[in-house]
């Protein structure tokens, strides 16, 4: 089963309007040869419309980093999935570990966001991953499966195969410079795929895109996505410069395809 790799930049709370304009100009120039790979960027909410406009027609995915499940209401500071779709974004990240661990989002919160995003026509990247304590206690699969099962509950297989990307992001590898080894990543990715095969069937599992995230850089991305079940990367720090991000996109070309 061929899967097109998906390299996504999660810009978190970085960059500014001018920097993003320059970044988008670089991305929109058709000279980085990123064929056979899907590329996406996830700017802060306030820049979403700007990026959608700047990258229109490029085929580059633009998405939000989170969304609120309600369509509207008295939720000061929140942004609805409906609004993310309304400005023309196509994707949203749900369940990022910073949302779970810094802002206290539970599996139920993540599920509500995921369902609202799908209902509003947005595709999702569902992040899962264990803390260092959970890994050291031998609980990696238990934690990842709990987050995965909660996120995918009730979805039909076709939706999982075509509109959900899973991002395995071990919390201990995010922003720390500590990358999971390719073998560590492959072990969890294979377990995630087997879990999805168990609930949604082999065909859905074979089509599911599973990204790795956590200190991915141009010099380690090839080895990571060279693993059989690693279908791309969700990148923080190394996605913040056009040259580095474009290198990642180029290196993602055609792997596993």
Does position 132 interact with ligand 13P (CB under 6 A)? The reply is no
Q: Which two tokens stand for residue 144?
A: 């990842």
Does position 48 interact with ligand 13P (CB under 6 A)? The reply is no
Please count the CA atoms within 13 angstroms of the CA of 128 that sit on its side-chain side: 29
Is 169 marked active-site? yes
Does position 252 interact with ligand 13P (CB under 6 A)? The reply is no
Is 96 marked active-site? yes
In the complex, minimum distance from the CB of residue 25 to ligand 13P, in angstroms, rounded to a whole number: 23
- Between 59 and 175, CB nearer to ligand 13P: 175
Q: Which two tokens stand for residue 13?
A: 């709370």
Return d(Cα 3, Cα 9) in angstroms, integer: 19
Residues 195 to 234: which contact ligand 13P by CB under 6 A? 213-216, 234
Taken in order 160, 161, 163, 166, the sign of the CA dihedral is: positive
Does position 151 interact with ligand 13P (CB under 6 A)? The reply is no
Does position 147 interact with ligand 13P (CB under 6 A)? The reply is no
Return d(Cα 123, Cα 256) in angstroms, integer: 22
- Between 82 and 231, CB nearer to ligand 13P: 231
The torsion angle over the Cα atoms of residues 139, 213, 164 and 157, rounded to 10 degrees, is -40
The torsion angle over the Cα atoms of residues 237, 240, 241 and 245, rounded to 10 degrees, is 80
In the complex, minimum distance from the CB of residue 44 to ligand 13P, in angstroms, rounded to a whole number: 13
Residues near ligand 13P (CB under 6 A) are 10, 96, 169, 174-175, 213-216, 234-238
Just list the catalytic residues: 96, 169
């Amino acid at each position: 089963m061929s899967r097109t790799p998906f390299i996504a930049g999660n810009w978190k709370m970085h960059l500014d309007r001018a920097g993003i304009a320059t970044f988008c100009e670089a991305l929109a120039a058709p000279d980085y040869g990123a064929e056979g790979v899907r590329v996406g960027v996830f700017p802060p909410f306030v820049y979403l419309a700007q990026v959608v406009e700047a990258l229109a027609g490029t085929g580059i995915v633009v998405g939000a980093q989170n969304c609120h499940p309600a369509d509207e209401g008295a939720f000061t500071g929140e942004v609805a999935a409906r609004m993310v779709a309304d400005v023309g974004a196509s994707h949203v990240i749900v369940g990022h570990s910073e949302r779970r661990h810094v802002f206290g989002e539970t599996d139920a919160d993540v599920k509500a966001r995921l369902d609202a995003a799908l209902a509003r026509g947005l595709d999702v990247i569902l992040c899962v991953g264990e803390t260092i304590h959970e890994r050291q206690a031998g609980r990696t699969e238990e934690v990842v499966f709990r987050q995965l099962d909660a996120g995918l509950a009730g979805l039909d297989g076709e939706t999982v195969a075509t509109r959900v990307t899973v991002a395995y992001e071990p919390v201990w590898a995010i922003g720390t410079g500590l990358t999971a080894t390719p073998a560590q990543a492959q072990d969890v990715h294979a377990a995630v795929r087997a879990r999805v095969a168990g609930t949604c069937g082999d065909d859905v599992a074979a089509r599911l895109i599973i990204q790795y995230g956590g200190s991915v850089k141009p010099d380690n991305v090839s080895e990571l996505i060279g693993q059989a079940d690693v279908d791309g990367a969700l990148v923080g720090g190394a996605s913040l410069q056009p040259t580095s991000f474009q290198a990642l996109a180029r290196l993602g070309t055609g792997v596993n395809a």
